[in-house]
Chains A and B, each alone.
Chain A
Amino acid sequence: MNGDTGNGNGGGGAVEALPGDWLRGLGITLGALVVFMVVTQVAWEGWYPLSSFPMYSNPQPWEDYLYLTDAQDKPLPLQHHLGLSASKLNKMYRKYLKDFCVVEKAHDDYPGRALQQKAVAALMEKVRPMAERRGRPLPETVKVVEVVIGRKPPEKGKSAPAGVALAGPLEEVPTVIGEDTNKKGAAK
């Protein structure tokens, strides 16, 4: 480990900087940050750890999430079975759906039943082994339920009207978008 700086100011941190010095420092620093932002906006999620950090970047008047139930419609505790949060489960489903929509040239906010079921099948193929690896297998029949909160605009609009300010209680509409039966047999 290095010792003291021997700089005479005891590492106090305050330095005398001429206006030109700190302006040059500011210019170089902002330049580095601009490079960082350009790289992350271009490369974003494809190359970890680069990301555009898009969390909550486009708040819409509607949102959707997923949960799983057994055949009797009883919700399954996702963390217990899969070691995953409902948020991660939803992101996985959306990723499959988006990929299928790209292939089929569909809008991923309005994918249609067939693509939804395709994405559900891919999701279940992924998460059933997860549960088995944890020794907490999912029931033989699992229903995938999508809940839409708020007001989803009609498909023609494709996106929410600008600056929509919601008011009053929000509707939450659950829909079973797929059902998966374990081909390997039932889990107790």
Chain B
Amino acid sequence: MKTWREEIKEQFKPVFGPLPMDGREAFWLRLFFAILVVWMMAGEDFSNLGSQDKPTGLARLMDLTFLARGNALLWVKIGVAGLMLPYVFGLGLPVVLPLVALIHAAVFSFFNSQGYTSHGNQIVSLMLVGQTLVALFFPVYRMVAGRPFVPRGGKRRESYLLYATMIMICGVYMTSVVSKMRKSDGRWLRQLPNVAVQVIKTHRQTWYSNPEDPKGVAPGVPVPKAAVMLENPLGTQILLGAGLVLEWFCFLCLANRGWALLVGLSLIGMHRSIDLIMHLTFGLNEWASAIFLVNVPFWVMWFLRRRRERRDSGCSLPTSR
């Protein structure tokens, strides 16, 4: 019988590929993701929008302004919620996932076609695209090869869905690192103390958006966090530079469950810190990390299973004595 230390160590063995998965874990991950998609759609209100004069994505190909008319968006929300029901049970994924990905991309293409880009929604659209590619791979393989693709070694279709989703999450963070290096001509780290200016800007903008928001700081009132950053440029570089390192090496989460947990928790910690300092929330990124990287269902089931196995074989948890 392995010790707990050996059991944990086993979860850190490098794999860099889809992993075996329990059917119940797959169910919980699909359920959590479905809730996330439905919840983020439910919060949208396009009643103030009437045009798409700066089109992006699908809005470049078609007129999506109907989404802002009458009850169109409400019906879209109901449709997505209905489609996510079979998704939760893993039914009809090659049909359900492309439809949800398309609708999701259409809704947020329209939202982003107003002249502003909101980057918070893209991670969910990209995860849906990643899952769609996997869901379509299985029937396409069957058509082309004349036989079904059978995952081996305890893997299942959901193992590939999870891996593709994780690749999309990593892609988002690693792309932002490339942008930072490209747009700053490699000077991003040196320029970091300038983020103090951004901190003032975000606090003022919060106030001008809604003067009653307690997070906002009225014009003329000092922003203490910005002052701290100005007084400690090295500290700012170390703190925010650590975030850059984390973003670049987040692909380690693809190695195994152990690294996925550590990277997931670190990314959540990074976003919490940014929210604290700059009032910039990336809630969907945090939830994506929590669902697919931290993956609570896996660890709960893993712990309960190991404990049961140890109990059945006569071993017990280490006690204080």
Where the two chains meet, the residues of A that have a C-beta atom closer than 8 Å to any C-beta of B are 1-5, 7-17, 21-23, 25-26, 28-30, 32-33, 36-37, 40-41, 45-65, 67, 75, 77-80, 82-88, 90-93, 95-96, 126, 129-131, 133-134, 147, 149-150, 160, 162-170, 172, 174
Contacts and interface: CB of A to CB of B under 8 A. Distances in A.
Given A13-B20, A30-B251, A33-B251, 12 more contacts: A11-B25, A14-B256, A26-B14, A41-B179, A46-B56, A46-B60, A53-B172, A65-B201, A85-B206, A91-B115, A149-B201, A169-B222
B187 A52 contact: no
Closest A-B pairs by Cβ, 4 of them: A7-B154, A11-B22, A48-B57, A25-B16
Given A12-B302, A22-B14, A25-B15, A1 B23 contact: yes
B56 A65 contact: no
Contact of A48 (B51, B125, B167, B193): B125
Contacts of B157: 2
A48 B48 contact: no
A51 B119 contact: yes
Contacts of A47: 56-57, 60
B10 interface: yes
A65 B204 contact: yes
Contacts of A10: 22, 305
- Which among B15, B109, B190, B301 has the greatest number of chain A C-beta atoms within 10 A? B15
23 contacts: A1-B90, A7-B154, A9-B154, A11-B22, A13-B20, A25-B16, A29-B16, A33-B170, A48-B56, A48-B112, A49-B121, A55-B119, A57-B182, A59-B184, A62-B197, A86-B204, A86-B206, A87-B116, A91-B115, A126-B115, A149-B200, A164-B191, A172-B200
B146 interface: no
Given A11-B25, A22-B15, A60-B191, A75 B211 contact: yes
Interface string B249-277: 00100111100000000000000000000
B61 to A, nearest CB: 10
Contacts, number: 296
A139 to B, nearest CB: 16
A49 B190 contact: no
B115 A170 contact: no
Nearest to A14: B10
B3 interface: no
Nearest to B115: A92
Contact of A53 (B60, B108, B119): B119
Given A33-B167, A63-B198, A65-B201, A79 B209 contact: yes
A166 B229 CA distance: 9
Interface string B28-52: 0000000000000000010111110
A65 B129 CA distance: 34
B153 interface: yes
Nearest to B86: A1
Contact of B171 (A2, A40, A59, A134): A40
B187 A13 contact: no
B142 interface: no
Interface majority SS on B: helix, strand, loop or mixed? Answer: helix
For chain B, give the interface size range.
35 or more
B26 interface: yes
- Which among A12, A75, A88 has the greatest number of chain B C-beta atoms within 10 A? A12
A86 B23 contact: no
Given A59-B195, A85-B205, A134 B13 contact: no
A17 B13 CA distance: 8
A27 B173 CA distance: 19
Contacts of A165: 193-194, 233
A56 B198 contact: yes
A46 B25 CA distance: 37
A59 B47 contact: no
Nearest to A27: B16
B10 A57 contact: no
A78 B251 contact: no
B171 A15 contact: no
A126 B53 contact: yes
Given A5-B154, A14-B257, A33-B251, A129 B50 contact: yes
B70 to A, nearest CB: 12
